[in-house]
Structure 1
Amino acid sequence: MAKHSGAKDWIVRAAQPTKTERIEAYFAGHGYTPHRHDTYAIGRTLAGVQSFNYRNGRCHSLPGATLVLHPDELHDGEAGTEAGFHYRMIYVEPALIQQVLGGKALPFIKGGISADPRLFAASESLLQGMDNALDPLQEDDAIFDLAHALDAAAGNRRGRRAFDFQAAERARAFIHATLCTTITLDDLSKACGRDRWSLSRDFRALYGTSPYRYITQRRLDRVRHLMLAGHTITDAALATGFFDQSHMTRQYTQTYGVAPARWLKMLGPR
């Protein structure tokens, strides 16, 4: 890993609530421990070298390419040189991609870095600076373009859909409606009318993660909203169904690569 340059690490989140989460950040050295999340992470290195381990390989992102990390794939992040790295990233729920593709398997970009110009162009409007507000219709158009660009860059071909998209959508809706309760795979099976193992297979293919991890990460989403609203880490953990603060912290770090206390400390203006 590159030596720390002495500069302060920072993260800025787009203040405007949208369908995608947008961040801009700088890390002088170590950025994230190995973690995984159930969204696409699509970004652009603006300066420096952004190095990370991904699918048993070592990757180095330079300005000009597009980062595309697939949902639920383990990865980390650090500076590849002493200059640190500056980047922007959007996090896109697979459900948004499925609303466009309508039941195809999620596009997978080999290697986590793409030089495809269609993907670069389609992600450009979503990777604007954090001060640039996105019009809702502009964001919808960009998501539509991004879904098709991902599909094209992945080399997917048209074919018969082998998944029950509607059943998986019913299961996903049930999760959101009952998130504060204990949810079992049998509950999801009954709610969507599909046998539990076919549902589990379809859910992974369509949304990029298992039903269990999807539930966990929706609860972590609520934790982040509560912390940003001023709740303590302990209160946020207990309010979202975790056993205690340490249980939530372990799950949070495994998902986002930083502990919640460190994340809160780094947030804010440069």
Structure 2
Amino acid sequence: MLVAAPFHGVERIEARFHGNAFSPHRHDTYALGLTLHGVQTFRYRGTKRFSSPGNVIVLHPDELHDGAAGTEDGLIYRMIYLPPNLISAADGYRHALPFVTDPVVADVRLWQALAEILADLSEEPSDLIMDDVVMRLASDLSRQAGAPPMAIAKSARTAVLRARDFIEDHCSDIVRSEVLEIASGLDRYELSRQFRRLLGTSPHRYLIMRRLELAKLSIVGGKGLAQSAADAGFADQAHFTRHFRKTFGMTPGRWLTMASTSSG
């Protein structure tokens, strides 16, 4: 697996494998990809899906899926993991995130935008390139979603962004519902509802993902799994490993091996 250096919370990969590669897992990002060789198969929203070269994969945040090569020829694909926050920001946080029902689409404009950002994983895109691609992806996802976007009230938008900022600033601490209620000005149930509409996941899940990001950076920096887990706010290494596998479909050790091989 080839893993590009992350930037602005965005991750990009190229995966090559035969057979089953990823156990069921879910991200808090959009997972947008291009099938380059072979047949890409995965289970998503209760149905087995197939993608061949020329198709675009669109997986919504927080949706469970796995991954495998559909034939003995193996599989090559490239994927970008795009934080929902960027898609919402392109719209000024005025509407709920677009949901594309079919995770395998044939869309020339969407393909072109993804091909541009995934063409060279060894080079970090400039801010100007990234801003343009995010704008195009946001537009294309809305077009593919079809249904008119749900408007988000300004007060709800402000509340969600306050809660998001609080979580990011305190992600290695214990964050309780009553604290987020004070930070956002919304009761916990309305906050959860509006948070998911705008950012594609729950406040708890968003907190776990920020902790996982901290732990990944710590592991790559040379710290052990137990220390990285503790520093990021996990109860222990086993707690960290369970969440890591649920999110990335593999253990931290396997991920580190692939990341090290890619960077080496």
The TM-score, its normalising length taken from structure 1, stands at: 0.92
Please report how far the alpha carbon of residue 113 of structure 1 lies from its aligned counterpart in structure 2 after TM superposition: 1.1
Compared CA separation, residues 161 and 239, structure 1 to 2 (3 A)? closer
Residue 22 of structure 1: aligned partner: 12
Distance 1:29 1:68 in 2: 21
Amino acid at match of 1:174: F
Distance 1:70 1:130 in 2: 23
Percent identity over the alignment is: 43
Secondary structure of the structure 1 residue equivalent to 2:159: helix
Residue 72 of structure 1: aligned partner: 62
Residue 114 of structure 1: aligned partner: 105
Alpha carbon RMSD of aligned pairs, Å? 1.6
Amino acid at match of 1:135: S
Structure 2 stretches lacking a partner, 5+ long = none
Please report how far the alpha carbon of residue 27 of structure 1 lies from its aligned counterpart in structure 2 after TM superposition: 1.3
Distance 2:49 2:217 in 1: 32
Distance 2:46 2:151 in 1: 31
Q: Which piece of structure 1 moves more, 111-120 or 173-182?
A: 111-120
Amino acid at match of 1:255: T
Residue 97 of structure 1: aligned partner: 87
Secondary structure of the structure 2 residue equivalent to 1:111: coil
Where do 1:249-260 residues align within 5 Å?
249-260=241-252
**Counterpart contact for 1:118–1:153, Cα < 8 Å:** no
**Counterpart contact for 1:51–1:79, Cα < 8 Å:** yes
Q: Deviations over 1:98-124 (max 9, x none)?
A: 101223111111121111223222322
Distance 2:42 2:68 in 1: 6
Compared CA separation, residues 106 and 158, structure 1 to 2 (3 A)? closer
Distance 1:75 1:15 in 2: 24
Residue 41 of structure 2: aligned partner: 51
Amino acid at match of 2:87: I
Q: Does 1:201 align with 2:193?
A: yes
Where do 1:123-162 residues align within 5 Å?
123-157=114-148, 160-162=151-153
Instruction: Give the number of equivalent residue pairs.
Output: 260
Residue 171 of structure 1: aligned partner: 163
Q: Deviations over 1:218-247 (max 9, x none)?
A: 100111111111111111111111111111
Amino acid at match of 1:98: S
Amino acid at match of 2:251: A
Compared CA separation, residues 19 and 181, structure 1 to 2 (3 A)? closer
Please report how far the alpha carbon of residue 97 of structure 1 lies from its aligned counterpart in structure 2 after TM superposition: 0.6
Distance 1:58 1:111 in 2: 12
Distance 1:242 1:49 in 2: 37
Please report how far the alpha carbon of residue 131 of structure 1 lies from its aligned counterpart in structure 2 after TM superposition: 2.2
Residue 3 of structure 1: aligned partner: none
Distance 2:149 2:10 in 1: 27
Q: Deviations over 1:175-228 (max 9, x none)?
A: 111112111122111101122211110001111111001100110011111111
Structure 1 stretches lacking a partner, 5+ long = 1-10
